[in-house]
Each structure stands twice: as structure tokens, then as C-alpha cells.
Structure 1
């Protein structure tokens, strides 16, 4: 399942299609109960959904969930028992999704469903009552880590914490149930981008919040900040990288800084780090996490690699979004009870092995 700190509703695929297998058959579950559209669960607890729920022809609560990459799923809300190692938890609300659209059919065909982990009323962590959870995403195809509750790990270095930004007043562009932190600046190697701190702060409409979102792949910055970062990165890599000059090419709709790298080259050249500076903590992106190869695109003897920061404006997103690619090999702790996010660099594949989860 996809672990998504940027969305609320957990869901499973409940209908087989030509591109997606059936993962959950509600007819075989004796405890499966659809949510009526007249129930408080449907009318009140869905208030933070980006698309309002509706009532289908069977008078059941119908939900449509859409994501920044243009993927969407829809189906009915339902209750069922969720079984864990030591216990059964009854009446967990989730989505039984039977249709949708996708921007990446190959990846979606591998997806069982999604675990919604934000701070909304119907998120998995809220329904379970967990005060804290942590994860560690490996940079390779190896087992990562997901832990619920307060866990003491002796070998983990102390975390740096940044407070969550909470705005109680409803604003049109501010997601109140997201894990919002305050980005205060960005530096490339030792050079801090020459921008006022105010460009990183939400405005009077709520636009400009910084969300930690494990359900988004890359990191997206609002236009002025993205442009400043792009120009500084080009400046510092001019001697080691060749820019791919094609004004019509934009990778995944938002990443327009790409490079030509010889196919015979082993590894990337030494690149300057990009560090996002938060209130009380920072996250440094280094090495191969800075560039991603574009699958199947070859120009002459060169592969095309793109910068893993994109322009939020090109996606129509009024926010800064820190995706899971830049959270790789970081221990991420979401301390809901104390309204903060903690982070520390760690080899997630080794952390998984130490905790008895690795292959």
C-alpha cells in the first residue's frame, strides 16, 4: 500500500479492471458495512475532503479522492474490522474504491490501496488514536520501516525537531490537516538563496504552506523560489553537467531542468548539496537524490537526467511540497501529540535490518 502523509482517506481497490487486480472483495467480508449518506460519518467527518462527498443511488456515502499527479479514485465509504498482529480493530472507516483515473497505469497496477496518514478525522492514525508514528524510506528496493506509537531506539541519533504550523481559521488554500512545517530558506552548497523569508510563509489566503507529503514523489517549490534554486544549481554545476536544451520538454509536468549525461559514464559527478532549512531543523539532499533518469529517453549517446525539484506553479499547486524521494534515508517522526516533526539522517536499509524487518 502507498503510505501517504498528504491525504486522509485510506482505501482499497474493490473492483477488478484490465489494469488493476481485485484486492478486496467486500462480498466475502461478514463485517463489511457501507456508510449511509445520512450518517454523521458521511455528513460531518468528511469535512476536510478536497472533493465533497455525495449520495449515490443506493443512498450510500460516495467519495472521490484526487491527487496532485492527476490520479483519482472513487467509491463508497465503509466500516470493517482491521486485523493486526495482536488484535482486531472494529469499525475502521475506509474507501472501497471501484473506479478512477491514473497518470501512471504501470505503477497503479501494483498498488493495493492507500493508507491515509494526515491529521484529518478519518485518517488511519486519527482513527487508531496514535500520538506518534515514524517511518524510514530506503533509497533502494529493500524493506523500509513504519512504526506506530512512541518507540525508543538506542542506536538512532537524536532527532532535530521543527514545529507544525497550525492555522485554525479556514483559509481557501491552506490544508489544515496536512503536516505543515515552516521552510525558512534553501542553500546550494554554502550559498543561501537571496530571497526574503516572507516568500516561504503562507499568505492571507493560506497559499504557500510547506507540506511533508510521503504520497508525492518529488519536491515542488513555488515559482520564485524554484527559479532562484534552478539558477543557482545551474551556476554551480556548469563545469560538470550539460543542460538538456529543449524548451518543450518538462519532466512530469513540473521539472524543466534536465541534463545530458553520457550513457557510458559510471555514476554522477560530484554535485553540490541542496539543503532545505526549517525552523529548528534542516534536510540536505545530496548525490543521486538530486537527479533522476528519465526512463526511455536517449539523445545521441546521452541519457537525460532531471533535477528532482519541480515548479509548483506548473502543477497548479499553491504550496511547497516535500516528497518521499527527498525523505529517503531520513528517519521521519510525526509527533502529533507534541505538534512537531523530527528528522535525522540514517541508512534506512540498515535500520530495517537492526529492527528485524530487513531482507
Structure 2
């Protein structure tokens, strides 16, 4: 679920299977047997602004690159054969369903079309001419995609996941077509019945996002191991868990298949903001839920919470960073607390930490790279423009809190669907990648 402008990068990944008591590097060619019903599989992804993983789809397999998106349900691939995409200055063809012997469209009469698409923002419809299920996806950044609901075999490492349902899209409109064209599609990872995680029947997955703009991260599909045990990092890594909130009754502004947590407050430095409890939980319409979304870059707060955070952060930083001095300037449509920093200043001063408080767990946003973002191409005389990495939902028109992946950097993020909880732990993701043997 993409709420801000994005850029794309990628790298292919390998498979790792871990037994219940051992860890092996990804470069190992022999894979031990395991008693796990669904053995853990590790993919590593790269990000500069959007997270991507590389898979293979079809028979014979075609290499594809997909955005990792915990905010979306239905995965989709670009199937427009007249529009090849470009990545790393090389032509990347779209997925060609005509070259796959295992590809099939979903008929209108299939329960997958009539029942399982009910949680999509736009339920599937029927193409009466071909009697094929038609899928339409739309996102808050005004991008959209249309095409057939179809199925094919997805290859993840040495696992062949047959009959995986996805959207084979032939029409796309994008808010950022140049960057969006650098991937083959999107990997939906939320709790909906058609998400990739649900179709794999996985009860747990985790990821760790490195802080460098072109550094690999790691995605773990499955696993029941303690993070410290299998990473072997030599220091304590204790996951703190917050419950995943789920309601059964449909509400107009509530996403029932999102990874929703209970927001408890915000702290700037040592000061807890004075926010009413009613502002931090959904109202009777469902507006105000807090979603964890790897498909959104920066974090978005409801207007009153953002205003309080902006005011406090400005007060604590106005003597550290120079004010941009342009009240009407907004970056990416949602961020309006911006600063001027001399272009030749390579190291920014220490900035106050922002701590997001959840039920049972906290997420600390520290370090200048996570707290302020240099706006590409924007300068004022000899100064660069930096903006605070939290945005205002009122400027976006979204009635929700969204925890974006920029603030998930160097945090081990575990999504435990079996116990309906999310685990967080500060972790040097670069070190984790090295320990796991993930390489370009």
C-alpha cells in the first residue's frame, strides 16, 4: 500500500533452510532436512526507498522483481507485453503468461473470484466477453492496475508454490511511472486470504531493513527460532511483542486485513506528548487505526497527533538546524517541517529521538538518517533541504496512522500470525545480513 513517492532497486536472493537448532549460510549448497512443516526461507531485499525481492514465476520460471508490501493483499505482475521495464539500465521484460505452461486465468464462476476477493478494496468483477475474473487495484497515491485474476507457480528458493493466485495486470496508472516501472509487480503480504503469506500457509515471517540506501536486508519466511540463537550475533536480541488488533465487524474506514497495532503515544527525547487516548485508537467508523506497512516509505500520523509532534520537534531542533523559512513548502505532499543545511555539511548534529509507543513494545526512531531526509534536487543557495520524516494524514486524505519502512530500519520485525502479535527488536541489519551470508 503505497502512500508516498517511491524509488525502486532490487537484487536476487537465495534459499536458506534452518533446522530447529542450527544456522547455515545462504551460500551453502547442501540443505539439511528439517522437521518444520513449512521450512523457513530467507530472501534478501534491497532498498533505496522501496523494498524489493526477486522471485521466479511460471513454467519454465521467469525472473521477476516485486515490491515487498505488508499493506497490500493481492500480489500482481505486469503482464503488458508491449511495455518492457528498465532496471539498472537493463531491459526487464514483463511477465509473459503465454510462455508459462502452468499459467491459468480464474473463471468468473470460481469461488476465488466470487468469495475470496471480498476484502480487496475493489472486489473482483467478471469480464463477460471472456468469462474471466477481472481484478482492479487502487492505492492511496492514486496509482492503479487492472487485469486478469490468474494463478501460476511461484518459485521461492527450492519451494515450488503451485496455483498461486495473483493479478496479471495489463493496464497501469502510476503517480511515479519512471520508478514504478523498475519492478515487475508487487508482493502482497497482509492478512487477507489472497495474500502471498496466506497462500503459502505461513504463520510467521520477519524482515530486517538495513540503514544504507543500497544495502541488502533479509526477509525470513517461516521460522520458530529465537533471533539471538539463529543469528548468533553475540549480544542480546530480545523481541518485545505488541498484539495485532483485529476486528470482525466491517467498518467503512477500517482495513481488517492490515497489520494493525494499538498506538499508545509518542515521546520526543524524554518528553511524552500530551495526546488524548481517543486520538490513538479507531473511532466508530474505523478511522484512526495504526497500520504497519512496508509499502509506505515514511510514517503518517493523524493531523492532531502530527501537529503536536511537529510542534515539539521544532521546539527541540530550532537551535540545531536552520528553519527552511517557507511555510507553504511540503515534501511528498505530507511533510512540512523542513530545514536548511549547508551542502558541504556531511555530518548533521545529533537530533532528539522519536519513540513510537505501542501496547507492550516501543519503536525508537533515532539517528539523523531516520529522522530527517534530504530532499533530492532541492537546494536554497548553498543549502540542501532536509525534511522531518513524519507526515500529516490530513494532507494525504487518509484517516489512519501508517508506520512506514523508513522507521523500521535496523529493527527486526516479526509478524507472528499464529499468536496474533508483532515482535520488534533493535538490530544491526547489516551485521545480520553478513552473519547470514547474504551477498549481491
Same fold, TM exceeding 0.5? yes
Equivalent of 1:17 in 75, 83, 88: 83
Partner of 2:268: 188
Map 1:125-164; keep pairs closer than 5 Å.
125-140=197-212, 141-152=214-225, 153=227, 154=229, 155=232, 157-164=237-244
Q: SS in structure 2 opposite 1:114? A: strand
Q: Deviations over 1:37-63 (max 9, x none)?
A: 221101110000111222223221111
1:342 to 423, 427, 430: 423
Q: CA contact under 8 A between 1:349 and 1:358: conserved in structure 2?
A: no
Q: For residue 313 of structure 1, report the CA deviation from its aligned partner.
A: 1.4
- Cross-structure match for 1:110: 182
Number of residues of Structure 1 aligned to a counterpart in Structure 2: 359
- Mapped to 1, the partners of 2:337 and 2:84 lie a distance apart of 35
C-alpha displacement of 1:165: 0.9
The Cα of 1:19 is off from its aligned counterpart by: 5.8
Confirm or deny that 1:93 pairs with 2:173. Answer: no
**TM-superposition CA deviations, 1:39-93 (whole Å, max 9, x none):** 1101110000111222223221111112222222221110111223333221110
Cα pair 1:183 1:277 within 8 Å, conserved:
yes
CA contact (8 A) 2:410 2:426 kept: yes
Q: Which residue of 1 aligns with 2:45?
A: none
Scaled by the length of structure 2, the TM-score of the pair is 0.79
Query: Stretches of 4+ moved more than 6 A in 1?
Result: none
Query: How big is the alpha-carbon RMSD for the aligned residues of Structure 1 and Structure 2?
Result: 1.3
1:6 aligns with 2:71: yes
Residue in 1 aligned with 2:99? Answer: 28
Distance in structure 1 (CA, Å) of the matches to 2:123 and 2:163? 22
Alignment correspondent of 1:314: 395
Aligned position for 1:173: 253
Question: Do the aligned partners of 1:42 and 1:61 also contact (CA within 8 Å) in 2?
Answer: yes
Unaligned runs of 5+ in 2: 1-65, 87-91
How far 1:350 moved relative to its partner?
1.1
Q: What are the superposed Cα offsets for residues 306-353 of structure 1, whole Å, 9 maximum, x if unpaired? A: 111000111111100000100111100000000000010111111011
Does 2:118 align with 1:47?
Answer: yes
- Residue 293 of structure 1: aligned partner: 374
Query: Could you tell me whether the CA contact under 8 Å between 1:119 and 1:178 is conserved in 2?
Result: yes
Q: Write the deviation string for residues 108-142 of structure 1: whole angstroms up to 9, x where unpaired.
A: 12112111000001000101100100001111112
The normalised TM-score by structure 1 is 0.97
Where does the alignment leave 5 or more consecutive residues of structure 1 unmatched? none
The answer to whether residue 340 in structure 2 is matched with residue 275 in structure 1 is no
CA contact (8 A) 1:9 1:95 kept: yes
Structure 1 stretch displaced more, 4-13 or 76-85: 76-85
- Paired with 2:426 and 2:179, the residues of 1 have a C-alpha distance of 28
Question: Which one is further off, 100-109 or 19-28?
Answer: 19-28
Which aligned pairs between 1:202-281 and structure 2 lie closer than 5 A?
202-281=282-361
Contact kept, 8 Å, 1:6 with 1:213, in 2: the verdict is: yes
Change in Cα spacing, 1:323 to 1:210, as seen in structure 2 (3 Å) is: same
**Bigger Cα displacement from structure 2, 45-54 vs 9-18:** 9-18
* Aligned residue runs from structure 1 range 67-82, under 5 A: 67-82=139-154
Distance in 1 between residues matched to 2:157 and 2:313, nearest whole Å: 47
